[in-house]
Amino acid sequence: MLSILRTIWLTFLHIFHKTETVEYPEVKPYLPPRYRGRIILTRDKEGEERCVACYLCASACPVDCISLQATEDESGRRYPEFFRINFSRCIFCGFCEEACPTYAIQLIPDFEMGEYDRQNMVYEKEHLLISGQGKYPDYNFYKNAGVSIGVKGKGEGDHEEKPLDLKDLMP
Amino acid sequence: MKEALNIAGVLFIALTIAAGLIWVERRLLSVWQDRLGPNRVGPFGLFQVIADTIKLFFKEDWVPSFSDRPVFIMAPGILIITILLTFAVIPFGPDFIVFDSNIGILFFLGNSSLGVYSIVLGGWASNNKYSLIGAMRASAQMLTYEVFMGLSLMGVVMMADSFSFNAIVEAQKGGWFIVPQFIGFIVFFIAGLAETHRLPFDIPESEGELVAGYHSEYSGMKFGMFFVGEYLGITLISALIATLFFGGWLGPSFLPPVFWFLLKTFFFICMFILLRASLPRPRYDQLMKFGWKVLLPLSLGNILITGAVLIFFK
Amino acid sequence: MNIFFYIAATVAIISTIMAISGRNAIHALLFLILSFLAISVVFYLLDAPFIAALEVIIYAGAIMVLFIFVTMMLNVGLERKMENKWLNPRMWIVPGLLAAILLFDLILALKVSRTIPVGNQVIQPKQVGISLFSTYLLAVEMTAILLMTGVIGAYHLGSQKKKVMHRFLEKKIKTC
């Protein structure tokens, strides 16, 4: 009985407490940089697309919302011919970001994606691709990987040594 | 002419308060839960009421094909009619009363016992198991609590020597009945909560277990009538508490009596909302047990003691 | 005054006829409630407001709710076969005749005996209470005892015996 009265009194005292909620569109909450929101495709420092169309994100996606088609340019560099994310299926789990070997696909702290038409939730490559580097600046996949393509020969990467000449006796 | 004015005034006040309560309740609950509440439509969100009403009016008024059509349509009307009829015998001021009946309290009790039908029939006519369970709970709960509601008022009747509300208010000129009739007040307040099936006693419509209980099948303005009926019920019980235990329209003369009455009523409306904000819902059998084993002996003892004291001092 | 009486009486008669002839149990009960309400209006017009209020509170408000409650739970209304068997003319021709004789008797008696004019003063609740606890004290007390037996009986039937053993174990012991 006394505890009930105490409950009522304590609830009444909440008149003098500060409100916990904010008025959303005017006051926005702080979202940490690692918040998993809208998905973007980034470019490297040179302004080239980071995506090498390896399909890892598409296969990692648990709801199959990513579809893309790989192609190559004249220098032998792979890039996606189209890259489509259906955000009405996306669950923002971030698996694609974890799967991506080139830091191309990234989730950013933006969640305001409401649309009246469901078709507008399907984002094409031109909607996804930004001109910046996103969360991981100064990273260029080709500068770190040993693969040789038209833009870079073998052993010309940042942390690479020249390939060994097997026929040479010198150390 | 005066009667017509009184009827119009009572209806206007009752319906305005009931409609305004939609907003008041949401705002007050938000205050007690550290939220902001509806504040977008109009100043302080006051037009939320109008927005809600428009929404209810334009919703599809669906009568389920499996329902008992005439009973289904009749049920919400019964609730509104019985509650509004009771407002007729409540004195809003010394002359501001529609019908000064000499059986006022009995009139209220009769109307509140007829109000049960609205919920029972609404739940039954929906032809839905959840609604039926809600109706079953409602009928048991309201039947039980009507008993104590009537008994708790008998102390007041004995002290005022009349069933008429106006006579009861007049009898409180020497002092409010809350002091000698404190137990009666407590029992009446709890019974009033159960009678309007408000939280924490909203077992008939507990949304967690029964979806919405007796009104799950209702939509549009028929649901709106249940909704407004609930607020009218709160207003009614608060007005009764103010009249019976807190001197009704009596008060210092620097304000008109109607204002005092409304002020007291509003205070108890806020109490109702505060109880909703703070207390959890008891289980069904706990509610019944509490009623029969605690409140019934309390109210009977109250009658006994009041009668004995009155006889002793007369 | 008179016209109100006749309106209320007509409503009472019609709704009672609907109540006993209705097919749907709940609808029949609703008509019965309407009949009670009409009768309470009649009481009120006969200057007995206290009885009118009690009629609404107790009969229409409390007892009929219980009736509806039970009917609701039984979910009747679909099976009419049994009812048709009960309602064949041969079953009720004798009771009907007897009832008709009684009605005739009643009309005759009403016609012969002089009616007591209804007093014009309103019977206050206080008077009802005083006569209940002085003139009719014995009847009131006996009714109270009767109701008390009902309460005790209901308590006895409704009380759950505390089970010491789980019901599965009980079954096992019985079968052993």
Which pLDDT does position B314 carry in this prediction? 75
- Clarify whether residues C23 and C99 are in a common domain: yes
> pLDDT tens for residues B49-58?
888 888 888 8
pLDDT higher at C102 or A153? C102
Cβ–Cβ of B136/C69 closer than 8 Å? yes
Q: How many independent structural domains does chain C possess?
A: 2
Which pLDDT does position A164 carry in this prediction? 75
In a domain, A164, yes or no: no
pLDDT band at A136 (very low <50, low <70, confident <90, very high): confident
pLDDT higher at C56 or A76? C56
Best probe of the B interface among A2, A13, A14, by most B CBs < 10 A, is: A14
Instruction: Collect the ranges in chain C with pLDDT lower than 50.
Output: none
User: Domain ends where: C71, C96, C115?
Assistant: C115
Q: What tokens appear for C39 in the block? A: 């009768």
- Range with lowest mean pLDDT among A157-161, B102-106, B225-229: A157-161
Identify which of C61, C68, C73 has the shortest CB distance to residue B113. Answer: C61
Q: In the predicted model, what is the mean pLDDT of chain B?
A: 84
- Clarify whether residues C135 and C109 are in a common domain: no
Please state whether the predicted TM-score (pTM) of the whole model is above 0.80: no
For residue A129, give its domain range: 33-136
Residues of B within 8 A of C54 (CB-CB) are 106
For residue C170, give its domain range: 124-176
In a domain, A13, yes or no: no
Q: How far is B279 from chain A (nearest CA, A)?
A: 7
**Mean per-residue pLDDT for B127-139?**
83
In a domain, A93, yes or no: yes
Which pLDDT does position C102 carry in this prediction? 92
Q: How far is C51 from chain B (nearest CA, A)?
A: 10
- Clarify whether residues C33 and C60 are in a common domain: yes
C-alpha dist (Å) from residue B196 to B26, B54, B138, B230: 18, 25, 10, 6
- Has the ipTM of the complex gone over 0.85? no
Q: In the predicted model, what is the mean pLDDT of chain A?
A: 85
pLDDT band at B14 (very low <50, low <70, confident <90, very high): confident
Q: Does residue B288 have a pLDDT over 70?
A: yes
> C17: domain CATH number?
1.20.120.1200
Q: Look at the block and give the residue holding tokens 């909203």.
A: B202
Residue pair C23/C80 in contact (Cβ under 8 Å)? The answer is yes
- Clarify whether residues C20 and C97 are in a common domain: yes
**Mean per-residue pLDDT for A144-157?**
70
Which pLDDT does position C20 carry in this prediction? 82
- Clarify whether residues C69 and C97 are in a common domain: yes
- Clarify whether residues C130 and C167 are in a common domain: yes
For residues A114 and A38, what is the distance between their CA atoms, to the nearest angstrom?
Answer: 12
Strand partners, A86: A122
Please tell me whether the peptide bond between B200 and the residue prior to it is cis, using omega within 30 degrees of 0. yes
- Clarify whether residues C84 and C30 are in a common domain: yes
**Mean per-residue pLDDT for A150-168?**
73
Q: Report which secondary-structure segment, H or E, holds B298.
A: helix B296-313
> pLDDT tens for residues B150-207?
888 888 888 888 888 888 888 888 778 887 888 888 888 888 888 888 878 887 777 7
Cβ–Cβ of B278/A18 closer than 8 Å? no
Q: Does residue A151 have a pLDDT over 70?
A: no
User: Domain ends where: C115, C139, C161?
Assistant: C115
In a domain, A53, yes or no: yes
In a domain, A126, yes or no: yes
User: Domain ends where: C115, C136, C151?
Assistant: C115
In a domain, A149, yes or no: no
Q: What distance lies between CA B40 and its chain's CA centroid?
A: 29
- Clarify whether residues C14 and C35 are in a common domain: yes
In a domain, A10, yes or no: no
Q: What letter represents residue B256's amino acid?
A: P
- Range with lowest mean pLDDT among A10-24, A86-100, B152-166, C68-82: C68-82
Q: What tokens appear for B159 in the block? A: 């002290």
> pLDDT tens for residues B238-275?
988 888 888 877 777 777 888 888 888 888 888 888 88
Q: Do chains B and A touch (3 or more CB pairs under 8 A)?
A: yes
In a domain, A68, yes or no: yes
Which pLDDT does position B151 carry in this prediction? 87
Q: How many independent structural domains does chain A possess?
A: 1
